[in-house]
Structures are given as C-alpha cells and as structure tokens.
C-alpha cells in the first residue's frame, strides 16, 4: 500500500522504497499517486529535521532516494502527462541546502516536458538572475525548508526586479514552512503546497502566456503585499 511507501521514505529505507515503487508500477499504479506517497514521506523527513531528530546527512540521503524514485517513475509519467512546454529555473535559495522537495518538483516538471534548469542548493540571487538571462525562462521556482530562507526568497525576487526581469517571469515558492503569508513577504506570485501544485501553476502560467490576448507575467493575481 502507498502508506507503507510513505513510511519507508520517512525511515530512509532505500531498498524498501525502491522495491515498493517497482511493485506499484508493475501493478499499474498511478505514477502521480506513487510520487505523492513519496512526498508525504519527505514531509515527515522535513519534520524530523526541524525537530532535530534528523540531520543534514539524512536530508541528503532522502534526496538521493527520491532521485532514484524519480528515475523509475519518469517513464510512466511521460505516457500519462500532457505536454506543457516552457522553461523553468529552479533552485534552493541561499542559506538552505534542502533539496528533497526541489528535486521532486524538477523531476515532475521535466516529466511534463518543461525545460528545467536546476541550479542546486544554496543559490545566491545573482545566480537566479543570470540563469533567467541565459535561458529565457519565464518561471522561477524558489525552494526552502528553513525559515531563514524567507529573506533569501525575498532578496531573490528583489534581484530579479532590479535586473528588469520581474515583469517577464512568474515566481513560485515552496517548502515545508511556506504559506500564503510567506508568499506575500517574498513578493512571489504564488506558492505551492506540494510538487504537483508547482506543476499545475507552471502549466497554467504557460497556457496563459500562449493564449491569444493572454495576460502578461506582470499582471499578477496571486502576488502578495508587503
């Protein structure tokens, strides 16, 4: 059952996770349901980290497990996911090395035919700015698990603005402690409660941009106030 997969991820049981994922896929399980189960397990990993029960090495191990899961699930996702297209720059902001959720979002976006530039972890604002210039991405994803990441998210959005790129891109943020209030503080366009929410946001934004008379990125309906 998927609940046991969630628990296996939480317990960092690499062999157990991979075995269950393979079995689920062989039984024609919904690949999105499999990924959601893994995400729930990662949320528990994050909670244990915040409580001091898990350490950075545990976060890194969980991230490696998820990468392996993504490699197994991605082929099934390609057959079940509609093509969206678009370019996305994603990364964990400066001061934070959490990459579990970020890696899952990147994998899901790639499976949905987005061109993803993953900058990794502890990414300074200027690197996001340069990546947008280099790739022409219209979506920027900022990830952070720690509360100290909130200021880095805000600084990154400000850097995009200072570089004259803000009207051209939508910014989404995500991570365990992120909510609507944090979205407003960071001046992002939207926040995602999970990886699938991030994919849904990207698809919606790309669809808006490609539609006749579609809204410009600057016309934000989800951007928070100061």
- Contacts (Cβ under 8 Å, ≥6 apart) of 116: 87, 88, 89, 90, 106, 109, 110
Secondary structure string (H, E, C) spanning 6-42: HHHHHCCCHHHHHHHHHHHHHCCCCHHHHHHHHHHHH
CA distance 203 to 198: 9
Q: Is 120 helix (H, G, I), strand (E, B) or coil?
A: coil
Domains of the chain, start order = 1-80 (1.10.1240.10), 83-226 (3.40.50.280)
CA distance 165 to 133: 8
Neighbour-count burial of 51, counting CB atoms closer than 10 A to its CB (0-12 exposed, 13-18 middle, 19+ buried): exposed
- Contacts (Cβ under 8 Å, ≥6 apart) of 144: 92, 93, 96, 98, 150, 152, 153, 173, 175, 177, 178
CA angle 80, 174, 132 (to 5 degrees): 85
Q: Is 55 helix (H, G, I), strand (E, B) or coil?
A: coil
Task: Note the pTM of the prediction, 2 decimals.
Answer: 0.65
**What's the start-to-end Cα distance of the chain, in Å?**
44
Along the 226 residues of the chain, how does pLDDT read in single tens digits? 578 999 999 999 999 999 999 999 999 998 888 887 887 887 788 788 878 999 878 877 887 887 788 888 878 775 544 444 699 999 999 999 988 789 888 877 876 778 999 999 999 999 999 999 999 999 999 999 888 899 999 999 999 999 999 999 999 999 888 999 999 999 999 998 887 788 889 989 988 877 766 544 434 434 333 3
For residues 76 and 25, the answer to whether their CB atoms sit within 8 Å is: yes
């Amino acid at each position: 059952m998927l609940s046991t997969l969630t628990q296996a991820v939480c317990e960092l049981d690499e062999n157990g996770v991979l075995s269950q994922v393979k079995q689920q896929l062989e039984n024609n399980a919904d690949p999105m349901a499999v990924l959601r189960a893994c995400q729930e397990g990662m949320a528990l990993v994050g909670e244990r980290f915040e409580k001091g029960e898990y350490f950075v090495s545990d976060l890194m191990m969980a991230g490696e497990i998820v990468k392996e899961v993504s490699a197994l699930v991605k082929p099934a996702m390609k057959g079940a996911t509609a093509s969206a297209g678009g370019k996305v720059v994603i990364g964990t902001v400066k001061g934070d090395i959490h990459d579990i959720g970020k890696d899952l979002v990147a994998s899901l976006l790639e499976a949905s035919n987005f061109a993803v530039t993953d900058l990794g972890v502890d990414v300074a604002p200027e690197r996001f700015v340069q990546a947008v210039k280099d790739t022409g991405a219209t979506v920027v994803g900022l990830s952070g698990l720690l509360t100290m990441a909130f200021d880095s998210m805000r600084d990154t959005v400000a850097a995009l603005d200072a570089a004259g790129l803000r009207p051209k891109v939508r910014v989404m943020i995500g991570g365990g402690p992120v909510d609507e209030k944090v979205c407003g503080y960071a001046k992002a366009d939207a926040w995602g409660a999970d990886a699938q929410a991030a994919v849904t946001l990207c698809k919606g934004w790309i669809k808006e941009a490609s539609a006749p008379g579609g809204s410009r990125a600057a016309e934000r309906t989800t951007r928070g106030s100061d």
